[in-house]
Structures are given as structure tokens and as C-alpha cells.
Amino acid sequence: MQASRARLFKEFKEVQRERSADPDIQLVCDDSNIFKWTALIKGPSETPYEGGVFQLAFAVPEQYPLQPPQVRFLTKIFHPNVHFKTGEICLDILKNAWSPAWTLQSVCRAIIALMAHPEPDSPLNCDSGNLLRSGDVRGYQSMARMYTRLAAMPKKG
């Protein structure tokens, strides 16, 4: 557990330094608990999530980095691989394909990539997955855009 702490501390310092390096990701560590992190990611451009800012919650296990962090969306998102209610993310690198060489920052990047490239064949959100699988890209996109507007953009007025 000492190793995970050291590693997280280093990641923390790295995040502090490179905050300007990746403008799409803001990674913030909890004030009192280094095992709790929050990330804000920008929806990738040319996707229905463009213009939205999505909040992610990281729960880092004691065995980190041997075990992957648990990540979920706190912001509602309409995406085949994200559970609509819980925000759970179906992403291989957060499950069996995890590697200790990944960092929280790179997980954020992977999630942004997942947002741009949904995998409708292993859906957590069946509605979204079915839209894509049936070829209704437009339907998926308009739904996703609607929820981005509703949940991930500032309220107007």
C-alpha cells in the first residue's frame, strides 16, 4: 500500500505539472484522500459529446497500480459502454487488460478515446448499443447530443 501511495503521489505531482499539457483533462485529487480522484474531461470534438464536460470519479484500490482504478461517470452520458444509471464504464483496460504502466491520466485519455469510438458490441447501455448496432447512427447521435446538452453543459439562464 506504500507503493500505491508513492505512485499516486508521483502522479499527483505529474498532474500538477502537466495540467496545461493536456487541455482536455483536468485531474484533481481529493483534498484528504489520495485514493479518491476526480477528473473532468472534455467531450471529444466531432462527436455528440463535443462541448460537454464530463465528470469522472476514480476510486483507486490499495493494490494500485497492480489493480486498475475504478472509474465511473458522474455526469450522465448516453454511450453504449457506459451504464446510464450508475456511470459504470465498460473498458477493457479498466478490467482485464489493465497494465500497471497505465496512469490515471492515461485512463482519462482512454476514456476520451472510448467516447469517440463506442463499442456497441459490449454494451452497458443497451438502448444506445442497439441504436448503433441497428445502424441508426443518427438516432444515437441525437440522443447522445441531447444528453450532453442536458447533463454536461452549463445550464442556460
Partner 1 sequence: MVSDSIPTAPIPSAANTKNLGKKKRTNRSAKLKQCKIDARREQWLSQGAVKNKGYKDGGDDNHAPPMHARKDGKRSLEELEMRPTGEENDGSIHQDSDLESPSYSPTSVNSSLLGGNNSGTHFTASSSSSSSAGCCSGNITGLDDWEAVADALAADEKHQNLCSETLPEHKTVVQMVSSCEMEYGSNLGTRESKPESALLISPASGNSRAWRPDDAFRPQSLPNLSKQLSLPNPDRHCGGGITWARTAPPYSCPICCEDLDLTDSSFIPCPCGFRLCLFCHKRIIEDDGRCPGCRKPYKCESIETEARMLGGSLTLRLARCCSMIERS
Mind telling me the catalytic residues? Answer: 90
42 vs 79 by CB, closer to partner 1: 42
- 61 and 100 in contact (C-beta within 8 Å)? no
Question: How many amino acids of this chain bind partner 1 (CB under 8 A)?
Answer: 29
Strands ordered across the beta sheet of 53-59: 25-29, 36-42, 53-59, 70-73
d(CA 116, CA 9): 30
Helices of type H across 18-157: 104-116, 126-133, 137-147
Q: Rule CB under 8 A: is residue 156 a binding residue for partner 1? A: no
Select the span of 6-14, 81-89, 121-129, 140-148 touching partner 1 (CB under 8 A).
6-14
- Minimum gap (Å) between residue 118 Cβ and partner 1: 23
69 vs 80 by CB, closer to partner 1: 69
40 vs 90 by CB, closer to partner 1: 40
- 8 and 34 in contact (C-beta within 8 Å)? yes
67 vs 134 by CB, closer to partner 1: 67
Q: Rule CB under 8 A: is residue 150 a binding residue for partner 1? A: no
Q: Rule CB under 8 A: is residue 18 a binding residue for partner 1? A: yes
Instruction: State the sign of the Cα–Cα–Cα–Cα dihedral 57, 62, 66, 67.
Output: negative
- Minimum gap (Å) between residue 38 Cβ and partner 1: 5
Give the N- to C-terminal CA distance of the chain in Å, as an integer: 47
- Phi, psi angles (nearest 5°) of residue 138: -65, -40
Q: What is the DSSP letter of 124?
A: S
Q: Rule CB under 8 A: is residue 47 a binding residue for partner 1? A: no
Chain residues binding partner 1 by CB under 8 A are 3, 6-7, 9-10, 13-14, 16-21, 26, 28, 38, 40, 53, 55, 63, 65-66, 97, 99-101, 103, 153-154
